[in-house]
Amino acid sequence: MPDAMVAASLSEATSGGTTQQVDVAVVGAGFAGLYLLHRLRKAGFTTVVLEEADDVGGTWYWNRYPGARCDIQTIDYSYTFDPELESAWKWSEKYATQPEILRYFGFVADRYDLRRDIRFRTRITAATWDQAAERWLLTTNEGATVSCRYYVMATGCLSAPKPPEIDGVKDFKGEVYFTGRWPHEEVELAGKRVAVIGTGSSGIQSIPLIAEQAEHLTVFQRTPNFALPAHNGPAPADRVALLQGDRASYREQARWSLAGVPWPQQTAVSWQLSDAERRERLDEAWAKGDLVYILTQLWADQAVDVDGNALLADLIREKIHETVKDPETAAALTPHDHPFGAKRPCLDTNYYATYNRPDVTLVNLRQEPIKSITASGIKTDERTFDVDVIVFATGFDAMTGAIMAVHPITGRGGKSLSDVWANGPQTYLGLTVAGFPNLFMITGPGSPSVLSNMAVSIEQHVDWVVDRLIAMREAGFTAIEATETAQAGWARHMADCATLTLHRLANTWYTGANVPGKALGVMPYTGGVGPYRSICNEVASGGMLGFRLTGPNVAEQCNDGEIVRLQPDVRLVLNMLADMKLPPLESFGAQGARDFLAEFNAARPAGRPVGEVVDGTLPGTDGPLPYRLYRPTTPGPHPIVVYFHGGGWVLGDQESDDPFCRDMCRRTGMIFVSVGYRHAPEHRFPTAAEDGYAATRWIAEHAADLGGKPGPVMVAGWSAGANIAAVTCQLARDRGGPQISGQLLVCPVTDCTFDRPSYSDNATGYFLTRSLMYWFWDLYCSPADRTDPRASPLRGKLEGLPQALVLTCEFDPLHDEGVAYAEALAAAGVPVEQLNARGHFHSSFTMVDVVITTVSGRVQMAEALRRFAGLPSERRQGDEGVRPGRTASPHEIAAAAG
Ligand code: NA7
C-alpha cells in the first residue's frame, strides 16, 4: 500500500490522535535496542525506540541490587561492531558492576547520538497487525500511537519479574524490594533484620553484600545452586593479550564458538582422565573464575553425559563443603537435584563463606516451606521469622514473559500471540513467528540467547534482521512471514538439540518450570552460537527458506521447507567432513581407504571402559581369524553377541567399531565378540559371509571358554557387517546351527538392487555415497554372484529366522533395503521390529560419542538384545529421558532429575 494511503487509513484508525510513522519500531533500549537503532538508522530506515524506563540500559537499568554484575567477562560482554568503540571504552574490571555497565550504555547512546530517537517512559499497551496496510499499529500509555512497517521486540530475556507466589506479601508492614526492580535511591539496610528469598544469580550476588550491612540476614532457599568464585579484579592478562593480539580474529572466533566466548572445543573425555587429572582441571577452573570456562573446558562429556557431568558436580560439591564450616548448612547449600550447568550456575564473591558469619541464617525451604508472609515477617511450616526488610530475588518469567505478558500482540487474522504460545513458544529461528508478519524478536525463545554470551547473539540477530530488511527493500518486498512448515521444523530441531544437553533434566527458568502453570520445554536454542549463525546464513542464502515474502509490485516468494532436517550432531559431522573437501573414498583405492579410515578412527574419542577387552584368534575355514572380546564389569557368565563391523566388505577390522561395541556391552551387560572377517578385494565373495558363519559357530561352541553363557548366541552388525549377520542367520538355519536367538541389523546391506528411492535421494552428501556402494559391491562380488542370498539375504528364504531388530537411518542410501528386509522378515512370519532414525546418516550409530543423538536408538537396541536373550528390561536413567522429537513432560523432568 502506498504510504499516502497508509497515512490516511491510519489517521482514521487512531481517531485523529497523533500517530508517529516510522519504518521500524523497536521495543527496549537495552543492549539489543541500542544496536538495532544504530544499524537501522545507518541503513536508512526511520526508527523509533520505545522504552519504559527513563534512560537506556534495559536489564542493567532495572537490576541495581547490591552486587549486580555481569558474569561473562566484560571484554567479551561488549559491542564489537565498531573497533573504534572498542578502543574508546576501557572496562575497569573483569566482571563489571551494574553502574559501570550502565555507564557504558550511556556512553554508546551518546557516541552514536541514539537518544534523540528513543521515546523514554513509554509503555506499549497493544500492538496490532493491519493486514491491509501491512503495518503494525502500536498504542502506548502516553497517548501517541506508532505506525510501523516492522516491529522488533528487543525486550530482553529476563525483564519481566515473576510474582513471588507467596501468600500475604501485601500484609507485610516492613520494606519490600525486588532485585529486578531495585530502587534508584540508596537502600539503607544497616541495623535491620533482612530476609532474602531466592538463591539464583541475583540472590547469590546480593547476599554477601546484604549480609555485610544488615544486623541479621536470613536466606530462604528453595533450591541450592552451584556457585563458583568470580575472582574479580583486573581483566586476566592472558585473555586481554589474546584479544589485543588479534582483535578481529578473537571476535570472529567468538562468533563461531558454541557459547559466544572463544574457548576451544574440549576433546578429552572424562573416562580418559584419572581422578587426579580431573581434580587438577577443576582446581585450575576454580582458580580462573570463569563461568564459560568451567561450563565447557573441563572435559568433553561434561555437558552431554550424565556420568561425565556427575564427576564434575561431585568435585564442586566437595568445594562447597570445604568452604562452609557448619556441615548441616553445607549440606543444605549443596545441589543434588540437577546436573551441573543444567540450571544456570552462578558466579559469586564470598557467597558460601557468607554462611560462616554468625549473623547469617540459612532456611532450607525443602524442609520447612514458607506458609505465608505476615505483617511482621515470614512464617514457615516450623518457625516464624520477624524481619524488617524482605528482598525478593525470585527471578523472572524468562524468555516469553517480556514478549507476551507485557502487552497484547495481535497478528494476522486477529491471532493473539498469547493464544498461539499457550502451549509454549513457537518460533522460527527464535526471531519470527508464523502468523505475525513483520514482527521480529531479538534473543527470543528459540535463539541461543541466555545460553550464550548475549553480546554476541544480540549482534548476530540484529545484523541478520537488518540485512534482511535491506534485502527486502531492494527487492520491493514489504512483508515477511515465517511459514508453519519452517516453524514446525525449527521446533523439531530445537527438541533434537535439547536431547544433546542435560538442560532437559532440570526444573529451571530455561524450561519454564519456575513459573507455575507455564508450558514446559527447553526455550533457548541449545545447538550453540556458531551452528545457529550458520543456519541463519543458510536461510538467507537458500532464498529465505521458510519465509513468505510479499510486496505490492513483486511476485510473492516462498521457498518453503525446513532448514535443518539432520540431527544437530550429524550436521556438525557432515559439515566438518565437507570442510575437509576429501576426494571420494573410492578414489583412494582399497588400501588407501583403509589407511584413511584408520586415521579417521584414531581421532575419535576413546571408547568407554568395559570390564575387560581381550584380543584373540579363532579358527576360520582357511586359518585363524582375529577377534576382540568386550566383557561387562558384572559377574558372568554373560550372553554372547557376535558382532560384525561395517566397511563394505573392504574396510575396517575387529577394532574399527570399538566405541559402539563398548557402548553396547555396557548397555546390555553382554559379551560382544567383534570378528575380524576377511576382506575384499583380496578375498572376494563368499569369504566374508563364510567367515562370519564359521566364527559364529566357533564362538557358540566355545561360549563357556569365553566366559559366556552356553546356549544360543545373538548376532549383530552394521552395514556390510549387518549383511554378514543376516546371512549368518540364514546359514545357521540351513546348516544345522549354531542356535541364534536374535539378530540386530544396523543399516544393513540386504540386496543388490540400486533403484530404490533412497539410493538416489541420498546418493551424495551423507558420507556413504551411491558410488562408494557401487565400488564396494564391485570389489566384493561379481554381478553373477550378487543374487546369491549369501550376498543379498533379501533374496533368500526368510522363514524360520531368529527374531530381529532392523535399524535404518533416514539419510542413508541403504535405508530402503533395510526397510524392505524388515518387511520381508515380517511377511515370512519372523518377529521383527523396525526403527527408522530420523535425521541420521549411515554412520550415526557407530559414532557413539560424537553422534550423541543416537542414544535413544542405542537404548532400544540394548533392550532388543536383552529381549532376545530372555533377560528383563534394564533402562539406564538419564540418557534416554527424552526421545528425539519431543520435549519432556514435567513428570519426566522431575523423574530424570530425581
Ligand atoms: P533465578 O535464577 O530464577 O532465581 C530465582 C530464585 O528464587 C531461585 O532460587 C528460586 O528457587 C527462588 N524462588 C522463586 N520463587 C520462589 C518462591 N515462591 N519461594 C521460594 N523461592 C523462590 O533468578 P535470578 O534473578 O537470581 O537470576 C536470573 C538470571 O539473571 C540469572 O540466571 C542470570 O542469567 C542473570 P527455585 O530454584 O525455583 O526452586
Report the nearest-CA residue for atom 14 of ligand 1: 394
Q: How far is the CA of 345 from the centre of ligand 1 (A)?
A: 11
Residue 164, ligand 1, Cβ within 6 A? yes
Note the pLDDT of residue 405: 74
Mean pLDDT of the chain: 94
Q: What is the pLDDT of residues 563-584, one digit of tens each?
A: 999 999 999 999 999 999 999 9
Give 447-500 pLDDT, tens digit per residue: 999 999 999 999 999 999 999 999 999 999 999 999 999 999 999 999 999 988
Distance 199 CA to ligand 1 centre (A): 6
Cβ of 201 closer than 6 Å to ligand 1, yes or no, is: yes
Pocket of ligand 1, candidates 159, 348, 514: which has the most ligand atoms within 8 Å of its Cβ, to mutate? 514
d(CA 346, ligand 1 centre) in Å: 11
Phi-psi region of 143 (alpha: psi -120 to 50; beta: other; left: phi over 0): left
Residue 879 pLDDT > 70? no
Q: Collapse the DSSP code of 97 into the 3-class scheme (helix H, G, I; strand E, B; otherwise coil) and give the result.
A: strand
Cell numbers found for residue 65 = 541490587
User: Which residue bears the cell 553422534?
Assistant: 851
Between strands 124-130 and 409-410, the pairing is: parallel
For ligand 1, atom 27: residue with the closest CA = 201
Beta carbons of 34 and 114 less than 8 angstroms apart: yes
Q: What are 712-770's pLDDT values in tens digits?
A: 999 999 999 999 999 999 999 999 999 999 999 999 999 999 999 999 999 999 999 99
In this structure, are residues 860 and 876 in contact, taking their beta carbons and an 8 Å threshold? Answer: no
* Pairing state between β 671-675 and 740-746: unpaired
pLDDT at 17: 64
Q: d(Cα 182, Cα 61) in Å, to the nearest integer?
A: 9
The residue to which cell 553396547 is assigned: 664
Q: How far is the CA of 353 from the centre of ligand 1 (A)?
A: 20
Task: Answer whether 507 contacts ligand 1 (Cβ < 6 A).
Answer: no
C-alpha to C-alpha distance for 505 and 891, rounded to whole angstroms? 11
Closest-CA residue, ligand 1 atom 20, reads 222
DSSP H helical ranges for 702-833: 720-734, 757-761, 770-780, 815-827
| Residue 371 in contact with ligand 1 by CB distance below 6 A | no
Report pLDDT for 880: 44
Q: Look at residue 892 in the predicted model and tell me its pLDDT.
A: 33
**Cα 197 to ligand 1 centroid, rounded to whole Å:** 9
The answer to whether 114 and 108 have CB atoms below 8 angstroms apart is: yes
Output the pLDDT for position 891: 30
Beta partners for residue 548, in sequence order:
481, 558
- Measuring from atom 12 of ligand 1, which residue has the nearest CA? 198
Give the Å distance between the CA of 179 and the centre of ligand 1.
10
Tell me the mean pLDDT in the region 638-654.
98
pLDDT tens track for 486-537: 999 999 999 999 988 999 899 999 999 999 999 999 999 999 999 999 999 9
Atom 36 (ligand 1) nearest CA: 223
Please state which of the ranges 153-162, 665-674, 748-757 shows the lowest mean pLDDT: 153-162
Across the range 405-421, mean pLDDT stands at 93
Question: Which atom of ligand 1 is least distant from the CA of 514?
Answer: 38
Q: Residue 864: is its pLDDT beyond 90?
A: yes
Q: Give me ligand 1 centre to Cα 395, in Å.
A: 4
pLDDT on residue 150: 98
Query: What is the gyration radius of the CA atoms in the chain, in angstroms?
Result: 31
C-beta separation of 709 from 683 below 8 A: no
Q: What is the pLDDT of residues 586-623, one digit of tens each?
A: 999 999 999 999 998 888 877 899 999 999 999 999 99
Per-residue pLDDT, averaged over 420-430, amounts to 96
Residue 776 reports pLDDT greater than 80: yes
**Average pLDDT in the 650-660 region?**
97
Q: What is the whole-number distance in angstroms between the Cα of residue 354 and the centre of ligand 1?
A: 19
For cell 539503607, the residue is 188
Q: Given this model, what pLDDT does residue 887 score? A: 32
Taking CA atoms only, the protein residue closest to ligand 1 atom 30 is 201
Among the ranges given (54-63, 498-507, 832-841), the one the predictor scored with the smallest mean pLDDT = 498-507
For ligand 1, mutation pick of 196, 201, 370 (most atoms within 8 Å of CB):
201
Could you tell me the CA-to-CA distances from 242 to 245, 250, 601 in Å, in that order? 5, 7, 33
pLDDT at 875: 66
Q: In the predicted model, is pLDDT for residue 878 greater than 60?
A: no
- How far is Cα 512 from Cα 318, in angstroms, rounded to an integer? 30
CA-closest candidate to residue 406, choices 116, 139, 136: 139
